[in-house]
Amino acid sequence: MTQDKVDVQAALQQLKISFVDKIPAKITEIQQAWLTLKKDPENAEIKQLFHRLTHTLAGTAATFKLDELAECAREIENTIQCFSTNPCEPLTITEISSLLVSLEETASNTNISPVSIDEKTEEDTAESTNKSIATASHDTAKNNLVYLVDDDEDFNHTIKMQIKTFGYQVESFTSLTKFNEALKKQEPAVVIMDVMFGNSKTAGIDYIAQLNQSRTVPLQTIFITGSHDILTRLSAVRANGFAYFTKPAMMTSLVTALDKLSFKVEESPYNILIVDDSVTKSKHAALTLQQAGMNTKEVNDPLLLLNALAEFTPDLILMDIYMPHCTGLELSQVIRQMESYVSTPIVFLSSEDDLGKKLGALSLGGDDFLTKPVKPWHLVSAVSSRALRARLVRRLAETDGLTGLLNHSKSKACLKNELARAKRENTPLSFAMIDLDFFKHVNDHYGHPAGDSVLKSIANLFKQRLRTYDIVGRYGGEEFIIILPNTDLSTAKKIVDVIRTRFSKLVHYCEQEDFRCTFSCGIASYPEFRNEKTISEEADKALYQAKEAGRNKVVCAKSVS
């Protein structure tokens, strides 16, 4: 068990002790509410208070596996519904009074046992989540080596030349033996493996499957073959094949698959906003999620939610239903009326077991409903899967479909945010605008598929040559932007010049003939230009100067002051 996990376990145990210490005061509060309610049965505010107090006690007790106490509180919570319907019914009054006595007796006999967490399941879940984040964070973009394995030498040559156009290093092999020798010397980012060798229809698949048996991490493999049958496809999946293409493979589809394997998106920990008026319950959920590598922020006053949303930018909101001042259902409607949070997942966490109320919660903007008590591994799994899907959907809305780079609107938003960060931290920032030279001629003369391959190749070059925290966007048809945080003007020019030189040497292939492309660039920097409008305008002017000076150049904007 890691030190971090030991610390979390200790924190959870202390949280349980603190809760048990407060039980007598909580029961007194419930009893006082009941005495007031008996005197004034029509008092709606006191009814809500009594229900909320018993509901919270039941949920928190269940969270800490104080089952007898939780069951007794839950029975009172259910019985109060009958009292609300028939407030003067003597039997109901007697029953609730009797249950309150039982609640007090149960509380007096409550022992503080160690917090019981399903250690194996919890540890496995946390480890799985952390592995997932670590895998996504691993910077494989610098390893752009591809091994192409096919016994057809002509096919190898053709595919190799085309893949190199997109900025990949490619080594080809016509035998499995030579491939294995190369693999021992250097491991590639991706293997493109033919399925059929010699007389065997699945030799390539069988070979990869055999290699993977002795490996901790399977080779990232794309299978390519002339076979369409389901059994071959199943064998490829069982050999951990990432993708499967039939010959003749569409180059754009093949390169898209390479991109997904070679350029892993660096995933930051999920931000989870927990809204619950119970400090104990919110802290318990926070510690559980933190143990799985997530960032959390707790809001115990629902009326402070809007401030927390603006400060924290959550990937998911975990919310209780019954809270003072407003319910979770009302709060979810408020959130859904805000354009920025329409797609942010809301997961309700409550001890409510009424199916109708659960369905009602989902119809009012909720995405999931977890019934307390929730096992730690279940909470982690439900939250992480929802947060991941939300990120994927958001990423699709923010990126360009062809290149995978940020789209125009997201690029502008990033420039605004990065400028604000540069001002706060008093660090330089450079903004580059790039335009492909004579791109209309490429489309007109070589065709739009050739033009698309040029766009993808420059996008791949950006991903390979820039830092993981640099921001790249497709600003228009053949126009791109690069945001370079913590980078002054002269350094930015050197960086872009290296990319410009490399891109000008790439050979692009089409049916008619081979060709090359170049680009022109204008760069402006902060603090010389202090807002997004000025810095983008000056970079655009510098770009125009680069084109006027003969193209295939980088020009820096100069401050007039």
Are 290 and 225 in the same domain? no
Q: Which two tokens stand for residue 271?
A: 């931000």
Q: Which two tokens stand for residue 69?
A: 């106490």
User: What type of residue sits at position 336?
Assistant: R
Q: What is the pLDDT of residue 479?
A: 96
Q: What is the pLDDT of residue 8?
A: 65
CA dist., res. 185 & res. 431, Å (int): 40
Q: What is the pLDDT of residue 355?
A: 58
Are 486 and 419 in the same domain? yes
287 and 244 Cβ atoms separated by less than 8 Å? no
CA dist., res. 126 & res. 292, Å (int): 4
Is 240 a member of any domain?
yes
Q: What is the pLDDT of residue 485?
A: 95
What does pTM read for this prediction? 0.59
Which of 398, 431, 449 marks a domain boundary?
398
Which of 398, 428, 456 marks a domain boundary?
398
469 and 427 Cβ atoms separated by less than 8 Å? no
- Into how many domains does the chain fold? 4
Provide the total of helices (H) and of strands (E) in the chain, helices listed first. 20, 15
Q: What is the pLDDT of residue 2?
A: 47
Q: Which one is catalytic: 122, 478, 528, 532? A: 478
379 and 370 Cβ atoms separated by less than 8 Å? yes
Is 114 a member of any domain?
no
Are 337 and 447 in the same domain? no
Which element (helix H / strand E) includes 330? Answer: helix 328-336
Q: What is the pLDDT of residue 415?
A: 94
CA dist., res. 275 & res. 319, Å (int): 5
Instruction: Indicate which CATH number applies to the domain containing 57.
Output: 1.20.120.160
Q: What is the pLDDT of residue 353?
A: 63
Which of 60, 90, 108 marks a domain boundary?
108
Q: Which two tokens stand for residue 154?
A: 């002509």
Is 470 a member of any domain?
yes
Are 478 and 341 in the same domain? no
119: annotated active-site residue: no
Are 383 and 475 in the same domain? no
Are 305 and 379 in the same domain? yes
pLDDT in 10s for each residue of the chain, 561 residues: 444 555 666 777 787 888 888 888 888 888 888 888 888 888 888 888 888 888 788 878 777 778 888 888 888 887 776 665 555 566 567 888 888 888 888 888 776 666 544 443 334 433 443 333 333 333 334 578 999 999 888 788 878 877 887 778 899 999 999 999 999 999 999 999 998 887 788 899 999 999 999 888 899 999 988 777 899 899 999 999 999 988 776 777 788 888 888 776 666 889 999 999 888 888 988 998 998 889 999 999 988 988 888 888 899 999 888 888 888 888 888 888 888 888 889 888 766 666 566 566 566 666 777 877 778 888 888 898 888 888 888 888 889 988 889 999 999 999 998 999 999 999 999 999 999 999 999 999 988 988 998 998 899 889 888 888 899 999 989 999 999 999 999 999 999 999 999 899 887 877 777 888 999 999 999 999 999 999 999 999 999 999 999 999 999 998 765
Are 450 and 515 in the same domain? yes
Instruction: Indicate which CATH number applies to the domain containing 322.
Output: 3.40.50.2300
Are 391 and 415 in the same domain? no
Is 508 a member of any domain?
yes
Residue 535's domain comprises 408-556
